[in-house]
Amino acid sequence: MIVLKFGGSSVGTADSIRKVMNCILQNSENGSVVLLSAVSGTTDKLIEAVNLSVSNLSQSLNIIENLQIYHQNILYELTNNQTNSYFKIIDSYFDEIYEKVNAFNILGEITQQNYDSIVFYGEFLSTAILYIYSRFLKYDFSLIDSRDFIKTNSEFTKASVDFENSSLEFKKNKDIFTQKSIIIAQGFIASDLRGKTSTLGRGGSDYSATVFGLLLKENGINISEIQIWTDVSGIYSADPRIIENAFIIETITNSEIRILSYLGAKVLHPHTITPAYLAKIPIRVLNTFKPEESGTLIDMSDNKKQATINSIIQIENCCQIKINNNVNNSCFDIEQKLLKLSLQTDLKPLYSSLTENYLLLILQKYSDLIFDIEEHKHIEYLEINCIAIVGYDIMKFINQILEIAKEFNLNFLGNSENCIFLSTKNKLSNIEFNNLHNRIFSNNK
């Protein structure tokens, strides 16, 4: 069995839903669980409707009406305008949305729980449409409610999965998954222990897919792959909007993906890897609109692989803090203070290293650093721009990378197992960054 997840743009129009259906049929020989995001833009619109429910009810209702028309039109197109009875399902969800938004207006305030109680309809609608379409085509798919399976705490709008209780729900309903059929379920949505609807945070459907994979496997169902279907052909070596020759990575390790998402690359929802890694289920990132391409495989095994350089990312607005050890031996105090500060503020630690002479910290800052540097004269503080080169066992390439760094006037900051950090004073222009990308991958691709 496999788990397939389709993002919002894959279910954005009737035409793309037809493509989704093809991808499902081509890939589900041994049964599958198909998770969907909401139709693209729907979650944003539902949030906007909730925001306006108190201050501007008519505008809020207007947004919902437009969403209703949009969803109805998709269904019309998919079913050749023949299926009036199917419309009742979609319209009944919208009736509930109207009713709730009116109630928020009367109450005059909105809670986080209220957001989830509306936002989940996005995924409910997209899965209902796919289910209706499958019936229209005379396929025997099943539709389940993910809220009956994924249990969370009550931190509405960004709830944490309660794996123990979720696993119990999977165990209770295991039969549904053992029939080698195709099961449609919603990404992103869940419920708390009292049964109230919760969601896993924006973009959380990727995470739902790996959570499903883990919980199914835990309950004895063999999941051979988790497929994340999107509108690009896999994970790129660099941001393709900037780097002209960015290429699709064929295989990448889970630790590289973890680094990349930590460093801010838009690869997958940040929590996604962990459940798949725990369950040792590979993830494949694929393109709904070019299903013949093989995409990117994220390898979860810990087996030694051949060293590779896979990607490069530029991280702006960083600072380098060097604390001399020989002036004063309070450098650990300062490190502690800085790391504490990074928890309290929007500083993100990227790298640190300790030598006998100094402690080096590289932090990304999203606003001005309010650390009193003057107070600590033995601190060297420098604003920098970081370049991270990520690959498996990347130190095998250190000589080659240092040589290139010299050509581009980049300083070597340090490395971890799968990442080499370089720096420049100023951000590399797009042309320079393109040149750097091409130079790094000229021998490796």
The Cα 36–Cα 334 span in angstroms is 47
By a kind-dependent CB cut-off of 5 to 8 A, residue 187 interacts, out of ligand ASP, Mg ion, none, with ligand ASP
Do residues 420 and 389 make contact, with C-beta atoms less than 8 angstroms apart?
Answer: yes
Residue of 276, 259, 294 lying closest to 391 (CA atoms):
259
Residue of 253, 363, 360, 358 lying closest to 311 (CA atoms):
253
Give pairs for 334-338: CB < 8 Å, separation 24+. Answer: 334/359, 334/376, 334/379, 335/359, 335/361, 337/371, 338/363, 338/371
Q: Using the rule CB under 6 A, is 202 a contact of ligand ASP?
A: yes
Restricted to residues 22-81, the positions that interact with ligand ASP (CB under 6 A) are: 37-38, 43
Consecutive H or E run containing 334: helix 331-344
Query: Nearer to Mg ion by C-beta: 226 or 419?
Result: 226
Residue of 233, 234, 286, 240 lying closest to 257 (CA atoms):
234
Contacts for 14 with CB less than 8 Å, ≥ 6 apart: 73, 74, 75, 76, 77, 78
Query: Cα angle vertex 403, ends 397, 409, to 5°?
Result: 125
Q: Using the rule CB under 6 A, is 391 a contact of ligand ASP?
A: no
Task: From 2-10, 18-26, 330-338, 384-392, give the range in contact with Mg ion by CB under 5 A.
Answer: 2-10
Query: Nearer to Mg ion by C-beta: 51 or 83?
Result: 51
By a kind-dependent CB cut-off of 5 to 8 A, residue 282 interacts, out of ligand ASP, Mg ion, none, with none
Task: From 42-50, 80-88, 154-162, 192-200, give the range in contact with Mg ion by CB under 5 A.
Answer: 42-50
The Cα 47–Cα 53 span in angstroms is 10
Consecutive H or E run containing 155: none
Restricted to residues 93-122, the positions that interact with ligand ASP (CB under 6 A) are: 122
Residue owning tokens 């390439």: 397
In order, the DSSP letters of 163-191 are HHHHHHHHHHTGGGGGSS-EEEEESSEEE
The Cα 301–Cα 2 span in angstroms is 18
- Shortest CB 188 distance to ligand ASP, Å: 4
- Shortest CB 137 distance to Mg ion, Å: 25
Q: Using the rule CB under 5 A, is 16 a contact of Mg ion?
A: no
Q: Is 303 exposed, middle or buried (0-12, 13-18, 19+ CB in 10 A)?
A: exposed
- Shortest CB 71 distance to ligand ASP, Å: 14
Task: From 135-143, 202-210, 305-313, 373-381, give the range in contact with ligand ASP by CB under 6 A.
Answer: 202-210
Q: Beta strand 411-416 with 419-424: parallel, antiparallel or unpaired?
A: antiparallel
Q: Using the rule CB under 6 A, is 152 a contact of ligand ASP?
A: no
Q: Using the rule CB under 5 A, is 295 a contact of Mg ion?
A: no
Q: Using the rule CB under 5 A, is 8 a contact of Mg ion?
A: yes
Query: Nearer to ligand ASP by C-beta: 37 or 198?
Result: 37
Task: From 37-45, 259-267, 381-389, 400-408, give the range in contact with Mg ion by CB under 5 A.
Answer: 37-45
Q: Using the rule CB under 6 A, is 8 a contact of ligand ASP?
A: yes
- Shortest CB 129 distance to ligand ASP, Å: 14
Query: Nearer to ligand ASP by C-beta: 37 or 364?
Result: 37
- Shortest CB 9 distance to Mg ion, Å: 9
Task: From 94-102, 108-116, 196-204, 270-278, give the range in contact with ligand ASP by CB under 6 A.
Answer: 196-204
One symbol per residue from 205 to 244: x for binding ligand ASP (CB under 6 A), - otherwise; what is it? x---------------------------------------
Query: Nearer to ligand ASP by C-beta: 187 or 295?
Result: 187
Task: From 64-72, 197-205, 275-283, 341-349, give the range in contact with ligand ASP by CB under 6 A.
Answer: 197-205
Contacts for 138 with CB less than 8 Å, ≥ 6 apart: none
- Shortest CB 205 distance to Mg ion, Å: 7
The token duo for 8 is 């919002």
E strand intervals along 277-410: 283-287, 296-299, 308-324, 347-354, 358-365, 379-392
Which residue ranges make up the site for ligand ASP (CB under 6 A)? 8, 37-38, 43, 122, 187-188, 202-205
Which residue ranges make up the site for Mg ion (CB under 5 A)? 8, 37, 43
